Homo-oligomer: A and B are copies of this chain.
Amino acid sequence: MKEGFADRLAQASAARGSCLVVGIDPVIERLPREIAAIVGSGASAGSGFTARASAALGLFSTRVIGAVADTAVAVKPNTAFFERFGAAGWDALLETCRAARRAGLLVIADGKRGDIGSTAEAYADAFLGETEDTLGPWVDAVTVNPYMGTDSVRPFIEKAREGAKGVFVLVRTSNPSAAEVQDLDSGGRPLYLRMADLVSRWGTDASGSSGLSSVGAVVGATAPAEARAIRELLPRAMFLVPGYGAQGGSAEGLRACFLPGGRGAVVNASRSIIFAHEKRGGDWVVAVREAAMRARDEIEQVRSAT
């Protein structure tokens, strides 16, 4: 069987004893002082601001990547924090993805895109394509929003298959108001289980040598019962688990996401790692490194008991 994204992620995770994904969600206001200095004072006023802000984001992200390269298995840059600075921000996003790959990390581009057929093809090309000077060649997997149904997701899955890459479909997210929509009763079952059914169907042919499917699911650590029910419907899907740490996800929530034997899930932590310097004096890179090691160890403890 051909090796797919899920296989590569599982292998990398086993090899380095880590399920940690570091979310790269930088905001200017929380950058370490030495990096923020690049942006200068006057905040958003004045010409050249987006270029300076993007340079700061690129440098920060690259140094975070250096600090977590042997601790994490992947990074997950979120497009929002880069595209707020326009084209210059997209350059910093590309720089970030490149730096991560060169450091031996897998890259999950967190864009949560979703649109109809021909437009979804364009997005799939943007994130999973092979065009030089775009994100595609440096990205291993993307997140997608399934509200528009199969024809908004299928183009991502097809493009992912071509390049042995992956797709994580939002199923049950970790934010407080997720329940408002995703838990709605849908013919006797919550919407997130209907979505899990769709993910199961979409991922039928996407399993590789590890038995895990490269059509994965985003399932928050903040809702253990929901995660357990989704796991039952998706015994082969790789889970991307946000919400651990800053958002209050519990060890129980994590356990519900792993398969027996502690396989099949990677766990994201963003702000608790990249802004670790806020709670600790000294070198900020060391703070990031130590926070990543702590998170990895905590997650490993939960995983090894699953």
> With A47-B132, A125-B84 given, is the CB distance from A184 to B186 under 8 Å?
yes
Whether, in the assembled complex, A63 has its beta carbon less than 8 Å from a beta carbon of chain B, the answer is no
Q: How far is the CA of A170 from the CA of B180 in the complex (A)?
A: 16
A178-217 residues with Cβ-Cβ distance < 8 A to B are 178-182, 184-187, 191, 194-195, 198
Choose, from A13-21, A99-107, A144-152, the stretch at the interface.
A144-152
**Interface-centre pick from A44, A122, A132, A180 (highest chain B CB count, 10 A):** A122
A140 CB–B CB distance under 8 Å: no
A8 at the interface (CB under 8 A from B): no
Q: Closest CB of chain B to A250's CB: distance in Å?
A: 18
A61 within 8 A of B: no
Check A91 for interface membership: any CB of B closer than 8 A.
Answer: yes
- Is A134 among interface residues, defined by CB-CB distance under 8 A? yes
State how many residues of chain A have any CB contact under 8 Å with chain B: 68
Q: B173 and A116: CB pair below 8 A?
A: yes
Contact of A152 among B118, B135, B175, B184 (CB under 8 A): B175
A62 to B133, CA, bound (A): 24
Q: How far is the CA of A87 from the CA of B98 in the complex (A)?
A: 14
Q: Which residues of B contact A123 (CB under 8 A)?
A: 80, 83-84
A binding-site residues for B, Cβ under 8 Å: 25, 27, 44, 46-47, 49-51, 78, 80-81, 83-91, 94, 112-120, 122-123, 125-126, 129-135, 145-152, 170, 173-182, 184-187, 191, 194-195, 198
